Structure 1
Amino acid sequence: MEGRTEAWLVLLILGPILLAGVPARGATVAPATLRQNGNQQFLVDTHLPLLFFANVYSDDLLFINTTSGETIADLHVGAAPMSLDLSADDSTLYAALSGDTKIAVIDIASRSVTRTIELGFAPWSVRHSRPDRLVVSGASDGLVHFINETTGATLATVRPYLSLAIVEAAPNGTAFLVIDVGTDPVKIQRFASINDTPTFEAIDDHDLGINFQMEAVNWEQGVIYLALGGPYGYGYGVEMASAVSLNRLGLLGTAPYPALTALSPDRQTVYLETFGAGTADTVWAFNTSTGARLGTVSLDSPIQFMGAAADGESLVVADPVRRVSLRPFLSAAYPAPDAVLGFSPAFIEAQLHRGTQLSGLSQVAIDLNGRSLNTRILTGDVLRADLDTAVTDGAQTVAVTLVAASGTISTQWNFTVDSTLPVPGVEFATFQHPSGFRIPVPTTWKRATNVNLNGSIFELELTGPSGNVVTTIFVDTDRDPTVREDPSYFQSAAQNISTIITSTDPGAQRFEGPTSRRISNHSALTMAFLGSDAVIFKIALVVDESEARYWLILLTVDAAMYDSVNPIFEHMLSGFQTFPTESSLTAGLTVPVLAILITGLTADAILIFWAIRKSNASSSARPVLPAPLDPTIAVEPCPNCKTPLGPEDSYCRHCGRPRSP
């Protein structure tokens, strides 16, 4: 019992290292609790869809199908299996029982322990070397042993540099590495093992990184890849050292903090997982020949173990065990799958997940109900298509396709538009104006009619919730013999609106539309602009050619409130109705509210609404611009932004602040 007692004393001493991050089966543990064993209890078969996962708590070895994620066997192997390795022919698995003094030998085909190898010391790390030889580091004696597999006899020993070590062995059995896991910077030694007396060959130059987590060795290319949780003057990333000379080869840069690393089955790709530092947990992929970054994969939750699946299509991660696809794919962004909207969306968006295997992208396309839309890729790999025509009520089908040299990927989803859908939490009442329109308005919003704003009459003003600015909706109507219900009219109107707004506010950006639609059975256009001061202006222009009349509906809202206010505005547009009238109307808009909100009262800003009203009347004379305010009226500036206030203004229409009492 002496060896067994010694082994358990080792576990007590090394408890904080050994057990701090070992989860109970099915638990999820943050990467910060990684053990100092290089995660050697997690081994993905590079030829078969199998994962071998040792559980130090239950003394079990799990056989997991990496395709389905199903546990196909749960084998009791012995006390605290801490390190696993496959034989050269992949038929046998070795498990170092760190809670005992043995190596368990498992037959993979029968999933059974065929025998145990008595060592006489508690093992920490095991690697299969040449036939009938194992390299085993000891937890109890601090030595690295060259072992006769048949007898368990120690043929020779070498010492780690300073502390507890893990080992790696060349597939051909000619050399092995001893990696100290408790020193900063990490220390690596190389020993030749051609015969039963290993000889020292090299040690690193004391210039590698600190806070060792784990490593992967590409013996074919002669490179060691190190996941180091802290930099040593070089930054963060996959640190590389020669597997022969142990000279430092460089760094493949990533975000902080590296934790896990793995090689693809063909050794052409190295993966590194990073976590924390205010960024999402991410897997980085690099070409092992060129060092080129192949891409990244964002993880939806932290992982503690990682290996590359035999199929080369995904990573196998834990805990819990699951696959993470490396292939590119598309997902729905807006509208969400199966969403029911109370209005036509102004755009369709999908998210491209590049993975690590996307190359030669040549074409992207978003189709709505079989109609191809003009599609572009935005920052963040968002695929967006603006709708130039509003969709009618009913079921809608989105199809997204991406063509690349690496292959074609696609996705499809559905959503529904129902303009009769109520806006949750908002009650509406129908407002009718004698000038010839009806519109549903929120009952809790302040309403004013025939508002005189600096000499111009607005038929309706609605005041809603406040953010950085007061939310307002204005409705203006007038007769205009130049209006036309044809595409060229609206195309010209949209161009003029964009030109004048961006010349007035060079920082303004159009982010919706122009979208043609039918409102009250008339031709209409909607556009939205984001001003440089984070104020959104959404414009709806409705024209009735037979009545020679236009209706202009303008929303002004804080950008942070747009998502909650826009459904209200769209519900109002859906319920907007016009009707003939013989009444004599007031003069049209001369000092446009949109321009006031962007720049204050300037002569150039007056042209914004003029562009809307006269956008298709190229022969029309330019109007004589009135003074911004009647000079006989005392002008009071806004105490906040100095915009001139009219006598009836209770708040500034530029910044939304109340006027001085």
Structure 2
Amino acid sequence: MRGRVSLVAVALVVLPFAVALDAFGATSRTPVPASSNGNQQLLADPSRPFFYLADPAGSTVQFLDAATGKVNTTIPVGLGPNSIDLSRDRASLFIAVSGEDKIAVVDIAERSVTRNLTLNFTPLSVRDGRSDRLYVTGSDRVVRVLNGTTGQELANSSLFSYQTIAEVSPDGSLLLLTTTDVSALVIAAFDIQNDTPAFLRYSHPDLGGTFRQEAVDWTGGRIYLASGSPYGLEIVSIATLDRLGMLPMESYPTGVALAADGSTVYGLSANGNGAAVWAFDVATGVLQRLERLGRQADLVAVSGDRRGLIVGSPIERIAIEPSLGPWQPAPGIQCFSPSVLLAQLVRGLPDVGVDAATIRLDGSALSTDVYSFVSYDTFHLLRANLSVPLSEGPHTIDADVRWEGQSIHTAWTFGIDYGAGSPTCPSIGPGRPGPGEIVDVVPSAIEASLWSGSPSAEIESASMTLQGRDVPSTLTPDGRVQYAVLAPLPDGRYNVTARIAWRGGEASTSWNFTIDTDFSIPRIPLVEYVHPAGFRLPIPEGWTVQTDASIGTEKIDLLVIGPSYFGVQESLGVVTTADPTVRENDSFLAQVAQDTVQGLRTPYPDAQMSGAPRFRSVDGHAAVTFVVEYGTRSVIQEFAVVVSEVHQRGWILVLTAYTGQFPMLNTTFGQIIDGFVITLAPPSPPPPAPGPQPKPAGVDLGLYLQIGEVAAATTVLLAIILIRRSHAPGRRTSAIPLSTPIRFCPRCGTPVEPIGRWCPRCGEILRGPPPGTGPPS
């Protein structure tokens, strides 16, 4: 016939799928296992309350009562029955008996075998076709067209695989053949309007593997395939044999059944967790019901009246009636008026159609519809919309569903309390920045936190004001009222108010926060500390205090140790030095600052003053503050030198900080200096007469060296050596104990670490002198 090819051509196309199976061909009188025929041994009668089950390992066919799943009748048919089909007039069963090479014909009314069609091959699958024609696939790779009355062979053609199952359209015009034991499943379609089948098309090899069972929806034009992979029911177009999609399930799909009216398709999966039945709505693809069985199963079928579902083996009937219960609003008190009333409908198994559904509020029927609520375990909801808010007080909801002369009903009450402050009402609170929070960067958004109430209320509006002015705000999906800050905000304190409104109520919250990008506001809490050496000052709360600490030959009156950042140990040190040459003027203090930096450059040439010294008064005495940086090192130090001519003394305060923390610590150091008080009584003898004032040029530096040298040495001992050690290649990063004696390079006199192996300045190998000795003379 023009435009068609023979079955031989199909065999050549798909030969690679079958070559490996030659050695495994079944011989006559050998029953074929059930798994080789696509599980066609179970059939649901569409018009009678029966299932028909063949026993491939035995010799009988059983009639199972659809209402109970129990055996009604057992009929001997011969060894190895493995495929059952219902005759077109629905009066007889055709049964492929693989162990005796025959087709047994069973009269359903008589419950007996009326005749046997003897074959010269082993049948795998049998399907009744157009008038008096049977289509039988065999283990010899041949499909045969038989006379349905006599069994006479009318036509035959080579198949394209060893094991196939057959399906015939209700009008007898189309034959589908599906391979059952090849890695890539293939379906072929044939025109059978004449006795010789004519090839039409075959599917592409993308329909999965380890085929188990198929269900054909001739009216809907779809084939549903259950295979070991993928994990779901593959959907194939009958017209084109193209893949249309998949209904997802768990591993591993093993069975599939279609309701007689084509409304629901049932998938069966079986894995280490047991078997599960999945009911899908054919029209929408929505999962209607998932029921776990707690055991394994490999067969599934649904009765013609859709009231009985059986799984096996062993055979078990599943019949779960639909249930109806409260959903929204939930029973109890809430502070808002609902916009919709919902009742939960859990569909039965097998699934049943809903003829009518009604929701009544306080006795009045409302317009009601049913829709799917899609989640992992899908169910349905009866829905009735409300157009106006309800009155305060109790309300009663009645819901019912009716189908096929049956009905189910549920009722519950809920109450509405519009009173403010109800614990069920939505609420709004401060978000970020938090109440009273001080932030050092402009926030990208200002947010309020939101709770939708219990039960959750629909928030109808949300707004926010900043400094009393409305700002554009949105309600985020995760429940926040948010204002996106698009333009930079200047430093200062900001007042925020956020509001929400819902059906029947509203709530608001207010708070403030501060933006301080230049760290003008102190962030570290301080506590007062009094030192017996004659001074007091505020120090960071929680930092470790050491008094009269010794480092080498140097004595530190006060050492306050803070956190460590990236190997930099933050600290505050205070050293007192007696010096009758101190002068309370800017020239003296400027020289002190200069000498300090110069002294630091001996071990660290990259030390330099950041900015100019700042002269000020501390506790009524002259003082200077200055900052020293150390090139690319992540450490920075701030000094304050306070001098008192009446006390003939100087006090050196040194803050050591990680560069990233310095902006915050700088403000804190300012607080510390502001709070520094000299408590030491002046000496009894009057102080010596002041020396000559510095000259405008050519200043005698001898008057300024002592305090400057002490400041420089203190800095080195307190921080730099410790930090230097933490960054030395191959060295441990833990800090040296502050009480450990220190030594000096025998070559250049630079202070070095006690366990150091070389001088950081000149590179001299360090073998001595022992710790505690002074620098070389």
Taking structure 2 as the reference length, the TM-score comes to 0.43
Structure of larger gyration radius: 2
Which structure's relative contact order is higher, taking Cα pairs within 8 Å and 6+ residues apart? Answer: 1
